[in-house]
Amino acid sequence: MIKYFSLLALLLLVNTNNITAQLEKPNNSIGKTFLGDMEHFFDLGIGLAKSPFSFSTNDWYTVGIVAGGTASLFIIDKNVRTFSQNNQTDINDKIFNLDRFYGSPYTGLFTASIYGYGLFTKNKKIRKLGLQATEALFYSTLITGILKVSLGRRRPNAGESHLVFQPFQFISNNTYQSLPSGHTTAAFAVSTVMANHIDNLYWKIFWYGSAGMVGLSRIYHNQHWTSDVFLGAAIGYFVGSFVINFDKENTEYFGIKVNPYFTFNTIGVTLRF
């Protein structure tokens, strides 16, 4: 997860430096647009953090189903792992190679590139797509990163048992950061945004199919248990869906209007009662 945040921070810094130069010119619309998008980025984060307080009964049912489904898949974790490791072939190595690119830190470069293209060509539709994909990627992997450290599940390549948990093991080799799958989370978050950008069945199949292949690749490479992949996919999908449906105008919590603001040397929020 640190790789994702480092890459996104670097890309943001590069964009900020470029736009700072642009802002030296009066009435620059690119700079103003960028600042507005950064406000939206932080605004969405606040909305996502507050969203559980406004969950409906059906929303909590969904949370329960995801949690129950993850726990239920513990039953088949070892069997699926054995099957995948017994079917390691050259052909399968090529088929299940997508996680080297999609769901990896390269995904941050992909989403930032879409946003940058839309920003500098003043293509509002592409810019919005890139912003949403980046928001979904960042916040979904943030959630997954917190869960990884908090749950501390051991990866399948580190031992036979799928029931070894050592929470809050801050170690560089992330042996105890298996649940949920970060690659799968990232792939499903971005794919959910991309799939909903165009109302076309084959387009949706491509993006969701790609995300699914990332999940299978993580199992094939003995990096994650099946239940890890399931939970990662759920987090990515639901955060991606939240981003798509987010309405910046409806940012009122407990009767308080929350408006983040962003400049090149200041980040803050204003509260209006």
Residue 6, domain CATH = 1.20.144
CB 137 within 8 A of CB 113: no
Q: Residue 195 corresponds to which amino acid?
A: A
Q: How far is 12 from 171, CA to CA, in rounded Å?
A: 27
48 in helix, strand or coil? Answer: helix
Structural domain harbouring 158: 2-272
d(CA 188, CA 271) in angstroms, rounded, equals 34
- Number of domains forming the structure of the chain: 1
Look up the pTM and report it.
0.82
For residues 38 and 186, what is the distance between their CA atoms, to the nearest angstrom?
20
Tens-digit pLDDT string for the chain (273 aa): 545 544 554 454 445 444 444 444 444 688 899 999 999 999 999 999 999 999 999 999 999 999 999 999 999 999 999 999 999 999 999 999 999 999 999 999 999 999 999 999 999 999 999 999 999 999 999 999 999 999 999 999 999 999 999 999 876 668 999 999 999 999 999 999 999 999 999 999 999 999 999 999 999 999 999 999 999 999 999 999 999 999 644 544 444 455 555 444 555 555 554
Cα of 142 vs its chain's centroid, Å: 7
What's the pLDDT score for residue 29?
87
- The helix or strand, by DSSP H or E, that contains position 257, with its residue range, turns out to be strand 256-262
Write the pLDDT tens digit of every residue in 201-258.
999 999 999 999 999 999 999 999 999 999 999 999 999 999 999 964 454 444 445 5
* Contact assessment for residue 12 and residue 20, using Cβ atoms and an 8 Å cutoff: no
